[in-house]
A and B are shown apart, each in its own frame.
Chain A
């Protein structure tokens, strides 16, 4: 006796959170049943394996039918086929668009193209995440990217509006879109210690300060190239950054800067001598990173450069984080006292963000 057909349809669509998770994680029905059996559900409920199999199949079918709607979450809200309470709808969407840390680290900053999709096999083997789940996450990234890429207005708001995600998740997606668009390198070995959260934090600061949308001048000339206000870095700003070079090129200015910083920090840093010895190197590093940002290639290497030029030297000297903070604060603030330097606003826009990023990136 075999069941040819076995279905259960509720007026209110039943959603089992545990099964949903298993489905999202890309397990096959039989794997999911095995996992559920292991969770001890049979003992708790007195059900049989056959019941569990049928239940799992039902849920998988429902999720499969819902998946089409989840690709455009507002459709899920307006569709009539599945009656789902709003809180459940939110849960379905949020979980569907949630991603694995391990996976996102692999694709962050990569072009969301077919080529990358082909690498998913390797990513799956490497991370231990099922290929199915990798595909879903990748397709989610790509889908969000496609929808908001050309859109005006705040990136986070756009994502939230079109995908009905929570604030937290929308911000994460904004970071993913921003990284994918600017193709920041994140896969290098020396960047491996960084988490997605570190990058997302930096992305948020950069979106807030370094993009066209950040300046708030967009509405005045709608026809110009301000379409992707939050996604693209402000080209003009990047051009201007060359002007900062004077800080290291001009020897007097560099010395003055150093003495200002050292005077203030004397006795306050545990690594004062190291700082004093390294000041010029560090300053050169930071300013050169800024000056190089005119080239796309160098933009991509921003994080590599920051780690190489600043994080690693400090770390090798065992700077405590508090000292890094004191130093960076003083390093940026002292520039205001340099009479010969005219690009104070530019410096603040650059250094304000960079300081935040560096502090976040500075850990083991």
Chain B
């Protein structure tokens, strides 16, 4: 019996009146976990019942602990008829399963009903006692930490970044089961909520298992999504980056999680190797090459993990090797080889991270993306679904149509896409893809799968198989110019994958850089940026004929490349118009509807000092002899030039003058008139490399050959800049602003617009969509005007087409006020600052190895042989895995790296021992409990509910995150049959979103936290039927619950305790509450 779950129901408050006669309620509570149910006594006639129940104890497998949610139902007792349900609370107990996170869940939870919304609150205490389980074949993965944050969480250090993990599970959607015809909407909604909760638990557990097998202890950048495929089912899929993380501030907390074997397994005995630093030779690449003849990650999926594919490809080796830039010399080549070998072992060298430890990212190639249109075509009679179970078939549209079990089908779909991404990255001379994400858009039975990321060359230091020795690494780092290194092209100059205009880097003048750079990642902290950045969006609609099944899918497939091209052109034009040369955080969303396709791309434009000054936009008319036409053209040209000049001023883009380019005159010689850009069309079926060339000319030429193009130019100029005092970006931090105050406001805004159905043209559609987005932004600026000077960060637009003529746009972002006076700081100091930060980070990283030398090796209590045996025996069931490892072990270089890791671990163990005293200090005042104590203090008239901040960013300005309490992943359904009475669609959704926020905050507070970081609303599916007075909405949100301490508080406290290292954090934690 690996775990005991204990639940206590304390009290309720603000309950609804359930008995009209007495205006009171006779409430009791059912506590359900798995198949066990407990009940409290009925508390008669009160709207504020005090149950103060005994501890309900559930003895369960840890597998169930991970999968199942705790379900608390509040009911009204009725002697004569059935008890009426008041509402429910689902509590995800996962955060209690890892030792570093929360120890208790305790607090007031809103009681939620899918028909009535929040109906009062209930006070619950939940605890878990876990027993150690030594069974290595277990199905649970307790102890693996999950983070939504797409960077290394603030109080951790990445020891190793293992790589990509993915999984998906499929089930029938209860809404489409036959039983749904006879049950109430409430029952159906609850079945759905519960199922999704179960599925995400299962998914997380399976991903955790993969992580353990990769010897990691955490998943960073965890992104879980639902595909509501309607009749064909419900897919829950997740991707993430497996890491081995190490807690920074208090190493004492790095106690092994409940039963994670990861660490012991890592301690593979290579201590016989006395001096690793003498190896100057590179790794044995040939050996490595042998190892990737199969995909090792396959072996990670021992049990039902369905997401493996048999797609074995032979990677193109040596793609970039031997062709490195002149200055990079042998080191670069060597580095490339090593990284390549390290990464090519992985089936998918993808990373969901968007920000990286310093030195991790070496070069960036550009954006890679792939899309594929699939048909969710059912073969069996729908009436039999409930009975037939899983034996359903799917038909693949494009190639080899075959029938199989569903998860495999979905897995194969994604595997194809990932394979494509991988090969695109290769074509760019890159071995890895960073900032990777996947998404879907479903309309009826057509589904577009999309994946995108940024092709990159990574430093192998952080990768598991990285084999670089310290000395080489150091020399390499000296060689890499700071602040521009990532801009340098990773591909071969003479053998470029696409035509691009290369120049020598404007920063170091040694390496080649492209003229523009598009990426999906955040701006690296060490990048040198001129001026400020801004949000750049490309918006596009394309009409499509209504069609069925395959015809429909074909039509969409045919439209996609054109959309991609148009989106790209728009982005490029707008970027030029802003006078900038790079895009970060690029996210292109293609949404499919009944009769149209929508494309929305958002990114943050910046001026990278390393890249050349962008040329202007040149307009070329087709009929140059027409005088009035010529005049019109020159008028437009002037307007464009003015806009560029204005934007440069607005975003403070004043790059240092260079001899080659004159900044003031972006318009080049008129000889470029002849250039015809629109003719360039190289769109293949599903491929888009967005770094399409726009020629070797300095200026970007727009040829106005028809009204379409004219429209485009006009739309370029209609984008109005944000009002003074406002900036916006879709990345984490706004380039050029670095003095945030602590005032933040996270918000969600939703708009649904009905298009007039009469003679819709592409132009009209585009204009409508453009206006919708622009007006939405204008509204946001107006609403948040009290926060000026302020920046909207992480602006995340989502478009969906819920019905024929409806467009829904959902925006989530955070507004942060900054200090205007300090904002005038020059970029130079900013760079210096970030450099400093980088260097201190490096020092931190070096800390352990340095300490190692002073520690005597024998002091470490090695149990090496035994551990090794154990790990070997645990692998015995899977010969493939064993073989794989043995090959690795034989590699000399690997030995070194393992040795280094081993020593690092040892250092931690030693540290752990040496600060025992501080551990007790921490135990005496655990932050979580401190919070809990304060919160549960008897409510007096003046006490208010504790403030919980929410932000889509990974940090909180002016504060330090001291503890991660676990992932928040919640799914809610709300339905109404009295839409008018609830204030119409707006009233309904407004209330629901407010309720969702409230439930997220309540869960975070109950975990002892005071903020959610990396918050994201992944889904907001809204359906209405005004004629029936009905509406339904599904919302899925996630984020990381954290404890943060104000920096000002921290300073005060730390001056009080200058000696203790750990104390300020603990004490500070209590100060904030």
Q: How far is the CA of A89 from the CA of B941 in the complex (A)?
A: 13
Contact B745 A10 (CB under 8 A): yes
With contact pairs A74-B941, A161-B941 given, residues A4 and B745 touching in the complex (Cβ less than 8 Å): no
Contact A5 B985 (CB under 8 A): yes
Which of A57-65, A204-212, A223-231, A282-290 lies on the face that meets chain B? Answer: A57-65
Q: A84 to nearest B CB, angstroms?
A: 8
Contact of A12 among B745, B781, B806 (CB under 8 A): B745
A-chain residues with CB within 8 Å of residue B808 when the two chains form the complex: 5
Closest residue on chain B to residue A9 by CB atoms: B993
Closest residue on chain B to residue A59 by CB atoms: B783
B-chain residues with CB within 8 Å of residue A9 when the two chains form the complex: 747-749, 990, 993-994, 997
Q: Which of B959-1004 contact A (CB under 8 A)?
A: 983, 985-987, 989-991, 993-995, 997-998, 1001-1002
With contact pairs A45-B785, A55-B782, A61-B990 given, residues A11 and B949 touching in the complex (Cβ less than 8 Å): yes
A-chain residues with CB within 8 Å of residue B14 when the two chains form the complex: 75, 78-79
Q: A245 to nearest B CB, angstroms?
A: 47
Q: Which of A85-106 contact B (CB under 8 A)?
A: 85-86, 89
Contact A81 B783 (CB under 8 A): no
Q: B543 to nearest A CB, angstroms?
A: 16
Q: Does B911 contact A (CB under 8 A)?
A: no
Q: How far is the CA of A190 from the CA of B223 in the complex (A)?
A: 75
Contact B806 A61 (CB under 8 A): no
User: For this complex, into which size category does the number of interface residues on chain B fall?
Assistant: 35 or more
Q: Does B1022 contact A (CB under 8 A)?
A: yes
Name which of A9, A13, A78, A85 has the most chain B CB atoms within 10 A of its CB. A9
Chain A 37-74 near chain B by CB (<8 Å), digits 1 or 0: 00000000111101110110110011011000000001
B-chain residues with CB within 8 Å of residue A14 when the two chains form the complex: 745, 783
Q: Does B1021 contact A (CB under 8 A)?
A: no
Query: How many A-B pairs with Cβ below 8 Å?
Result: 139
Q: Does B380 contact A (CB under 8 A)?
A: no
Q: Does B13 contact A (CB under 8 A)?
A: yes
Q: Does B827 contact A (CB under 8 A)?
A: no
Chain A 1-33 near chain B by CB (<8 Å), digits 1 or 0: 111111111111110000000000000000000
Q: How far is the CA of A13 from the CA of B785 in the complex (A)?
A: 14
Q: Which of B705-754 contact A (CB under 8 A)?
A: 723, 745-754
Q: Does A201 contact B (CB under 8 A)?
A: no
Closest residue on chain B to residue A53 by CB atoms: B779
A-chain residues with CB within 8 Å of residue B941 when the two chains form the complex: 74, 77, 161, 164
Contact A55 B783 (CB under 8 A): yes
Q: How far is the CA of A64 from the CA of B750 in the complex (A)?
A: 19
Contact of A8 among B108, B118, B749, B987 (CB under 8 A): B749
Closest residue on chain A to residue B14 by CB atoms: A75
Contact of A7 among B749, B755, B945, B998 (CB under 8 A): B749
Closest residue on chain A to residue B993 by CB atoms: A9
Q: Does A337 contact B (CB under 8 A)?
A: no
**Using a Cβ–Cβ cut-off of 8 Å, how many residues does chain A contribute to the interface with B?**
43
A-chain residues with CB within 8 Å of residue B753 when the two chains form the complex: 1-4
B-chain residues with CB within 8 Å of residue A83 when the two chains form the complex: 945, 947-948, 997-998, 1001
Q: A36 to nearest B CB, angstroms?
A: 11
Q: How far is the CA of A3 from the CA of B771 in the complex (A)?
A: 11
Contact A57 B986 (CB under 8 A): yes
Q: How far is the CA of A195 from the CA of B939 in the complex (A)?
A: 39
Contact of A65 among B121, B723, B749, B991 (CB under 8 A): B991
Q: Does A272 contact B (CB under 8 A)?
A: no
Contact A6 B754 (CB under 8 A): no
Contact A7 B1001 (CB under 8 A): no
Q: Which of B761-797 contact A (CB under 8 A)?
A: 768, 771-772, 775, 778-783, 785
With contact pairs A7-B750, A80-B108 given, residues A61 and B983 touching in the complex (Cβ less than 8 Å): yes
B-chain residues with CB within 8 Å of residue A8 when the two chains form the complex: 747-749, 779-780, 783
Q: Which of B286-331 contact A (CB under 8 A)?
A: none
Contact A50 B775 (CB under 8 A): yes
Q: Does A237 contact B (CB under 8 A)?
A: no
Q: Does B628 contact A (CB under 8 A)?
A: no
Closest residue on chain A to residue B984 by CB atoms: A5
Q: Does B110 contact A (CB under 8 A)?
A: yes
Chain B 113-145 near chain A by CB (<8 Å), digits 1 or 0: 000001001000000000000000000000000
A-chain residues with CB within 8 Å of residue B1027 when the two chains form the complex: none
Q: B591 to nearest A CB, angstroms?
A: 17
Contact A80 B998 (CB under 8 A): yes
Q: Which of A216-242 contact B (CB under 8 A)?
A: none
Q: How far is the CA of A89 from the CA of B945 in the complex (A)?
A: 12
Additional 10 contacts, C-beta under 8 A, given A5-B808, A45-B782: A1-B753, A3-B751, A5-B989, A14-B783, A50-B775, A55-B782, A61-B990, A62-B990, A77-B945, A161-B941
Query: Which 7 A-B pairs rank lowest in CB-CB distance, beginning with the nearest?
Result: A5-B752, A10-B747, A11-B746, A9-B993, A11-B950, A7-B990, A4-B752
Residues of B within 8 A of A (CB): 13-14, 108, 110, 118, 121, 723, 745-756, 768, 771-772, 775, 778-783, 785, 806, 808, 939, 941-945, 947-950, 983, 985-987, 989-991, 993-995, 997-998, 1001-1002, 1022
